[in-house]
């Protein structure tokens, strides 16, 4: 296994710098769109019945699209705004000394043997807080691992596996359950107009999946990924900590943590009492996170940083400026990653591939269990082309759900098979908006990290999750257990 991962990374090393790699991918998409347009590639939309044709970027319309949307592609790229906003507060908490303090407290009490399992588990649960896991947990996991004397990239891998690879698992019903079940109902009503489906229709299976992903993710981290990183001698760069002014203070840590807890309880109460409406609140969750970290950082820093010089008097501004100055490489990488994702979506190539693949499945006459396993595999492949879980299911459900209903397969099972496949390959597709962010996190600790490094780390998780989930699904179907309620 380690030899295979080394070969994967070596192939990745032959790629150019990640920023240049995304620029090259933009060029490849431009050429591919031209070729597929010449071939007349098209598909029929399953809902509107419109003919969707491949669009060439080597055309007047394509040129105008690239010319007029370059700025908006960058500004509207999903990971960009939330990360920058969150980093204002997180950077303040870090430079004030609070984040190092909480890591110190964690490492003194947390059992080292269960660290990987804990991070994967927390990553799975973080899906309830929208994209908070990507923005907060993953970079923090690297620091926690480093504080334990372990490889920081292994921490990134474990947290990323939980947050993204375990996207469809959780202990409670979340927003994704509501969105996907709504799309499933719309598709099912094509056959049965009065069909209804609860968001909890997959709950029991996904509840068990939470513990399955936690165990598999922890094992992969401890016995494959981290040994691989140590064997390859991945260079760990020491960060510049010249900005740190604060020493650890137990009293300041306790007070700021209590204030942070009060703030968290107040936010939760705001959601529960509808003072913060759920829909609007989830959209502003990143801002709430930034405010929380900023509040904690201000309290901790005001109690520990001595204002002896003019520079230290303005430590809050200096902290935020240093945070943004350290993200220059990330911004450049995001620019080209945003163009690549936008170009691919505009050409309609991913959409056409998803529709044609789903139509192919309708022509096969297979047993229900085998057909659901194939849907899992098909969804995992489509996920490499289209990043959004809801967007893919909106396209696939109108074809797959009615087809399986005619074969006496309940739509809840179709939805479950899709979710399993969709989650398993989240962590290995560059088209996933946060993939480039993970690479940027890795480069903060090892400047030699590249696309091959991330793929070599995450492929074991992806295949292990996919295989274990398929086995669990087959066992579940064979036993006839309810998948939800």
Residue ranges covered by each domain of the chain: 2-76+110-246+305-479
Q: Is the Cβ–Cβ distance between 485 and 205 less than 8 Å?
A: no
For the chain, the first-to-last Cα distance in angstroms comes to 40
195 vs 410: CA distance, rounded Å: 11
Q: What is the pLDDT along the chain (485 residues), one digit of tens a residue?
A: 667 777 766 776 676 776 887 888 899 999 999 999 999 999 887 767 889 899 999 999 999 999 999 999 999 886 688 778 888 888 888 888 887 787 667 666 767 889 999 999 988 988 766 667 888 889 889 988 988 889 999 999 999 999 998 888 888 887 678 778 888 988 888 778 889 888 889 999 999 999 999 999 999 999 999 999 988 766 676 655 444 445 678 888 899 999 999 998 998 899 888 888 876 776 787 788 889 989 999 999 888 875 434 445 577 888 888 888 877 877 887 898 889 888 988 998 877 877 787 777 667 777 889 989 999 998 999 888 776 677 678 778 877 888 788 778 899 999 999 999 999 998 998 777 788 889 889 988 888 888 888 989 999 999 999 999 999 999 999 999 999 98
Report the 10 Å Cβ neighbour count for 418. Answer: 29
**Cβ-Cβ contacts under 8 Å for 275 (sequence gap 6 or more):** 269
384 vs 479: CA distance, rounded Å: 31
């Amino acid at each position: 296994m380690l030899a295979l991962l080394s070969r994967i990374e070596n192939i990745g090393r032959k790629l150019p710098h990640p920023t240049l790699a995304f620029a090259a991918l933009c060029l490849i998409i431009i050429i591919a769109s031209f070729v597929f347009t010449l071939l007349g590639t098209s598909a029929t939309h399953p809902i509107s019945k419109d003919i969707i044709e491949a669009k060439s970027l080597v055309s007047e319309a394509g040129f105008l699209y690239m010319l007029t949307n370059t700025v908006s592609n960058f500004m509207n790229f999903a990971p960009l705004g939330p990360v920058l906003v969150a980093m204002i507060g997180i950077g303040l908490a870090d430079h004030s000394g609070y984040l190092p303090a909480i890591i110190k407290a964690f490492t003194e009490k947390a059992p080292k043997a269960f660290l990987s399992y804990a991070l994967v588990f927390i990553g799975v649960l973080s899906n309830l807080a929208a994209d908070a896991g990507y923005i907060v947990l993953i970079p923090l996991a690297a620091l926690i691992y480093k504080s334990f004397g372990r490889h920081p990239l292994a921490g990134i891998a474990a947290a990323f596996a939980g947050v993204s690879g375990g996207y469809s698992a959780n202990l409670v019903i979340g927003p994704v359950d509501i969105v996907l079940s709504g799309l499933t109902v719309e598709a099912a009503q094509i056959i049965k107009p009065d069909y209804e489906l609860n968001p909890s229709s997959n709950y029991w299976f996904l509840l068990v999946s939470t513990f399955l992903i936690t165990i598999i993710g922890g094992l992969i981290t401890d016995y494959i990924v981290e040994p691989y990183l140590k064997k390859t001698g991945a260079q760990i760069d020491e960060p510049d900590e010249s900005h740190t002014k604060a020493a650890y203070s137990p009293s300041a840590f306790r007070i700021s943590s209590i204030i942070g807890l009060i703030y968290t309880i107040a936010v939760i109460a705001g959601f529960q009492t509808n003072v913060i409406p759920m829909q609007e609140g989830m959209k502003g969750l990143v801002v709430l996170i930034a405010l929380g970290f900023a509040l904690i950082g201000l309290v901790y820093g005001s109690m520990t940083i001595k204002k002896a010089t003019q520079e230290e008097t303005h430590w809050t501004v200096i902290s935020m400026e240093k945070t943004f100055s350290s993200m220059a490489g990330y911004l450049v990488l995001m620019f080209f990653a945003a163009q690549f994702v936008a170009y691919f979506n505009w050409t309609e190539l991913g959409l056409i591939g998803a529709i044609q693949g789903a139509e192919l499945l309708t022509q096969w006459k297979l047993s229900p269990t085998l057909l659901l396993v194939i849907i899992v595999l098909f969804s995992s492949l489509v996920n490499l082309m289209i990043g959004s879980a809801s967007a893919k299911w909106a396209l696939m459900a109108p074809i797959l759900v009615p087809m399986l209903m005619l074969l006496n397969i309940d739509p809840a099972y179709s939805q479950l098979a899709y979710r399993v496949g969709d989650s398993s390959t989240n962590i290995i597709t560059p088209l996933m908006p946060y993939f480039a962010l993970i690479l940027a996190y890795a480069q903060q600790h090892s400047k030699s990290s590249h696309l091959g490094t991330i793929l070599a780390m995450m492929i074991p998780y992806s295949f292990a999750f996919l295989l274990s989930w398929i086995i669990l699904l087959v066992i579940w179907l064979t036993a006839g257990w309810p998948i939800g309620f």
